[in-house]
Structure 1
């Protein structure tokens, strides 16, 4: 099936780096000259229903969950991710939202959308004053490419894969001096999550890679097998 001529990729606009994501998406879309992309802000179930794919940006995951519930967005988001299997990418707080479990939550816990069979640890690296930038070797970038500079701000990490069926693929790790290596990029089917903030770097490579996966997934949507990655394929996906 040929790629679609028009694709709508929404950015959940409850808080966080919405404008920054849209700016890099616009730059990344020039890699696909035959496709017309639309990048709307998403604040209502009606707006979400028009999207072929979605980014959940950084912010404060507990607040995002509360606001999404008040706006009637929470169940539509779950359906978008877990029933319709549309491509979704969560950055920082977005990764927390897409996890099945989270630790170090506020008292009483928090609601999660789910989709990634992982448990995340919130705020692994401390306060905003302890933010840092690290060179990352990401598994989906071409061999020999320069490292990606990951921006970590009160970032979560994946502390455990909670389902041993091999569906969760680790795509990036970071290691601070004197600490153990932490998982900071994962994918499972249609869901992609990063602890860091590519939208704050000006480096378009992760956005371009993910848009390529969106195009490929929509080209194969009749197969209902999830997201096809740029170099290789997911378990169960036909070549």
Structure 2
């Protein structure tokens, strides 16, 4: 890719926080590079997906998203986009569930998943919507970036958790999709009480090659830092014609 070309970022627009992601993406693009042009688009059809260089699967209700995607003929194209073309994809909350190879605590009858992350997620780890909360998270990939740019660590990210999943297991390659993919990187852990004192906690942000997932909802904050960081990974991927590189 040359810097004169446009990078198209899609947001899967079947249900959930589509507008919120688009709003933060618009703000984030201005902070990436003035030489890079971005086109932002909603994705509801296989043709719209095919025009994208990268995709966000937003928060919402993962079972509903899977049902609608199947009806619109999108599930298999999404799997092709993620697993075969290996284009950059980010899933938030329900999007993380969709991108997992396995999910537990699913509704009766189960649900279809896109896959791509060799993890098993536990849906609704923190309870109902009434038990939603906001918590500060120390995210090393943001700190590394801000240290390089500003010479100081990043402030904690105020993460919004709403019926959030967590990664309960990182699967061995033979249990997951395998295929010579890089290992799963843990990028964020939520710790509280005894878990914090013991250095344990819930895995709430992961990356594996081209696939990034967060349990929480950055799109529901005014903080664009994660969107900026992800867009920079997308630009790097497009420039080099490969999946997102390991390391921030």
SS in 1 for 2:98: helix
Distance 2:140 2:117 in 1: 18
CA offsets 1:141-184 (integer angstroms, 9 cap, x no match) = 12511000100000000000012686100000102335550000
Separation of aligned partners in 1, 2:91 and 2:67: 17
CA contact (8 A) 1:68 1:74 kept: yes
Whole-angstrom CA distance in 1 between matches of 2:161 and 2:206: 16
Q: CA RMSD in A?
A: 1.5
Q: Which residue of 1 aligns with 2:244?
A: 227
Corresponding position of 1:197: 217
Residue 12 (structure 2) aligns with: 12
Partner of 2:171: 162
Size of the aligned set, in residue pairs, is 228
Change (3 A) 1:50 1:166: closer
Q: Deviations over 1:80-100 (max 9, x none)?
A: 000000000000000000000
Match of 2:156 among 143, 147, 153: 147
SS at match of 1:173: strand
Q: Please tell me whether residue 181 in structure 1 is matched to residue 201 in structure 2.
A: yes
Counterpart contact for 2:182–2:208, Cα < 8 Å:
no
Q: Which runs of 5+ in 2 are unaligned?
A: 145-152, 174-180
In 1, the alpha carbon distance for the partners of 2:34 and 2:214 equals 27
Displacement of 1:4: 5.5
Deviation at 1:220, TM superposition (A): 1.0
Match for residue 150 of structure 2? none
Q: Give the aligned partner of residue 132 of structure 1.
A: 133
Q: 1:9 to 1:166 in 2, by over 3 A?
A: closer
The answer as to whether partners of 1:4 and 1:219 remain within 8 angstroms in 2 is: no
Aligned to 1:39, what secondary structure does the other structure show?
strand
TM-score, length-scaled by structure 1: 0.92
Partner Cα distance (1:123, 1:21) in 2:
21
The equivalent residue for 1:234 is none
* Change beyond 3 A, Cα 1:4–1:189: farther
Deviation at 1:48, TM superposition (A): 0.4
Tell me the distance in 1 between the aligned counterparts of 2:112 and 2:140.
Answer: 30
How much has 1:11 moved relative to structure 2? 0.1
TM-score by length of 2: 0.88
- Pick which of 136-145 and 190-199 moved more: 136-145
SS at match of 2:28: helix
1:230: Cα distance to partner?
6.1
Structure 1: give runs of 5+ residues left out of the alignment. 232-239
